[in-house]
Amino acid sequence: MLELRAGTGARDAAKALHEGARSGRDVIGGNDNAPERILSAYRRWIGVQILQIGQWLADSELDGVLTTKRYWALQNLNSSTFTQADLADFVRLEVGQRIETFVREAEALDHELSRWGSSRLSGESDTVAVVLDTNVLLTHHSGLESFPWHKTLNTQAHRHLGLAVPLQVVRELDRHKMASNNNVNRGTRNELRHDAGAALRFIDEGIPEFDGKHWLRRWEVGGRTDLSLMLIANRTPGFPIPDADTEIIERAVSLRPFATDVHFVSYDAAAVFQARQSGLKATKLTYMHAD
């Protein structure tokens, strides 16, 4: 899924992408097949998309979505080096691929908005995201649903809370499962690998066929769904962030366009301070919370 520019709205970005795809079809679907005019229409169209779509995207996304290698070739093209038929095909190929990209990314944003309960009319989410650090799952894997989340986060009791587990946390749990040192959990000395294994089982029970679009499990209190659990995938596969805390916090930041608010929760003071530096609300738990 696309990384959006800080402070922008996911619904606005999706709308711009859908509109860009619609207008792109007009570029290659018209009756005028003159190659020079198709090229001119493409240049006008992509210029508008760079303004309309580009304003919502992080700079790192521009080359993949808008200013591709083929874009630069078409901007600097000497049309005399192409036959007329080849020129038209080259333009249509680029426009067609931009349309496919726009539609795919718009639908991904729509899915994420829907998952976070965003209203199609107002664009506002109904859910507060609570991003869990690895140490939270190690400590509370058997009692997430009974933890006083609303009180701890000073959140209105009627708010739906989405407990979000980044895949980086799952990787860390896998690594801890092989560890031999001990972890303080609820005032006892349990092996870290035991806690990690229990946390992984807790997650796995909710995801027999997880497709990245739905909540893993929901808990109802008083007939109302107050708490849900979700996995959030890495945003940029193939471009890993070497520091685990930074990866987890980056994933928390990426939820801001979708959720009403985003809280980061950890027992690690350094991670909490880093999250606050990134503009997130962050709460440091103490092991009194584990009692």
CATH of the domain at 141: 3.40.50.1010
CA 90-94-97 angle, to 5 degrees, is 135
Residues 281, 162 share a domain: yes
pTM here?
0.74
Residues of the domain holding 57? 10-115
Domain endpoint, select from 86, 115, 144 = 115
The pLDDT assigned to 23 comes to 96
In a domain, 236, yes or no: yes
Q: Which residues of the chain have pLDDT under 50?
A: 119-123, 187, 213-214, 223, 237-238
The pLDDT assigned to 243 comes to 81
The pLDDT assigned to 213 comes to 47
3-state secondary structure of 183: strand
In a domain, 18, yes or no: yes
Residues 131, 16 share a domain: no
Residue 234: partners with Cβ closer than 8 Å, 6 or more residues away: 166, 167, 168, 240, 247, 251
Domain endpoint, select from 65, 88, 115 = 115
The pLDDT assigned to 275 comes to 95
The pLDDT assigned to 72 comes to 95
Report the number of distinct structural domains present in the chain. 2
In a domain, 21, yes or no: yes
The pLDDT assigned to 120 comes to 42
In a domain, 120, yes or no: no
Classify strands 224-232 and 217-221 as parallel, antiparallel or unpaired: antiparallel
Residues 285, 147 share a domain: yes
Domain endpoint, select from 115, 145, 168 = 115
In a domain, 3, yes or no: no
